[in-house]
Structure 1
Amino acid sequence: MRVVLAEDSAVLREGMVRLLELRGHQVQAAVGDGDELVAAVEELVPDVVVTDVRMPPGHTDEGLRAALECRRRRPGLPVLVFSQYVENRIARDLVAGSAAGVGYLLKDRVADSAEFLDALERVAAGGTALDPEVVAQLVRHGRDAVAELTPRELQVLAAMAEGLSNAAIATRLAIGERAVEKHVAGIFTTLDLPPGAAENRRVVAVLRYLRR
C-alpha cells in the first residue's frame, strides 16, 4: 500500500514511517505541512493519506484543510486523520461527500500500533474508522429517518461509524451477533437502503448518521 504521511513532529513522523514500512507499506512521502501534503498527493497519487490536523504555519487546521483539498482534487482518496484534536466543522466537510475511505483517530486514544495499522488498512480499503469521541462531536440529530431509529439502533450505527464489524459490535454491546444483524437490518429498513442498492449500505448509513 502506498502512503503519503503529513505530521509536523519530526520524531513522530519518523516513527510512523518506520512502523508503516515494517508492516510492508511503501511511504511515498513524509511531509511536515499541508502545502507539502497537497503537492505530494498530486504528484505521487498514493493509495491512502495520513495527516495530522494542526500543522505549520498557523498550527490550527492546516492538515485537515489539506486533506479536503486532496479529496477535492482526487475524489474518493482514502484519508486517515490522526490527531490530538477534533475540528468539527471541517471534519464534517471531510465526510460530506462520502464517508467511504475516511478515518479520524485521536492519538491519545489509540491503544497500540496494531489498532492504528488496522484502521489505516480499513480506510484504504474504502471503510471507515472513527473514534467514538469524534463520532459524538460530529453527530447532529435532524428531523430525518435517522431520528426514527431506536436507541439501540443508534448505538449500533455509532459503532458502525467507528468501523466495527458485527462481531465487534456484539462484544461491545454485550448482545448476540444475531441481535446485531437484526438491528443492522432495521437500520437499513428505516433509512430506506434496500439490498439491491449499488452503494455499500453500511457506508451510506454512516454518512447519513454523520451529516448535519
Structure 2
Amino acid sequence: MFHLIKLELKKGRFNSYLWGSMIAYGIIIGFLMLLYFVEGKAQVDPIFQSYPEMLQVIDIMIRATFIIYASVLLSKLIINEFKDKTMALLFTYPISRKKLIFSKLSIVFVWTFANVIIANLIIDAMFIAINSGFGYVSDALTSDVLYQHAIYVVMQAFGAAGMSLLPLAFGMRKKSVPATIISSILIVSVICSNNMGFSLSSIIAIPLSLATLGILLSYLSFRNIDRVDLS
C-alpha cells in the first residue's frame, strides 16, 4: 500500500500538491487579514471578540478550503482516471484493484488531515502574533484555551478528512468532475457556514458522523471493484 502511495504521489507530481496548499494558505491568510483589519476594534461589533472566536473562525475557513481542495484531488486521482479510461489500463497490472483505489483515497484523506493541522498551527500562530501588536482581541490567551483548541482542531481535522471523501459518492455516479466539486461546495456551505457565531461543525458529533459516512460510502463504492468489468 505504501509503495502504491509513493508511486501515486510521484506520478501526480507531489510538488504541485505542495504548491496548491501554499496558495490555499495564502488565500486563507489574505481573507482573514481582511476580516481582522476591516472588522477590527474600530467597528461597533467586531467579528473577533475573543480568542476562542478568532481561532474558531480560522479553523472553519481552513476546513472549508481543504474539503473543497480535496474534491479537486479526488477528481484528478479517481474521477478523471475512470472517465478517461486510464483506470482500466491501471487495472490490467498485477496489482490489487482495491489497494490501488484505497491508496488514492488514503492520499486525499491524509493530505486533508495534515493540511488542516498544519494550516491551523501556522495561521493561528500568525494571528496570535498580529493580535499581540494590534490588540483587537483584548481577552487573555491562556494555556487552557490553546489546549482545548488543539484537541478541537485534531477532531475537526479527522472530520474534515472523512467528509472530504463524501463528494466521491456523487462524482462517481456519472464520472463527473463538476458534480464532485459542486457537492463539496454544498457540503461546506451547510456544515461550515457561520451564522451569528454558530456553525453546525461546532457540534463535533456532526463532522465526526459525516467523516464516518464518507469513509463508509467510499468503501461501499469500491468494495466489489475487483469483480467489475471496466471495458
Instruction: Return the TM-score normalized by structure 2.
Output: 0.26
Highest Rg: 1 or 2? 2
Q: Answer 1 or 2: which has greater strand percent.
A: 1
| Greater relative contact order (Cα < 8 A, sep 6+) | 2
Instruction: Return the TM-score normalized by structure 1.
Output: 0.27
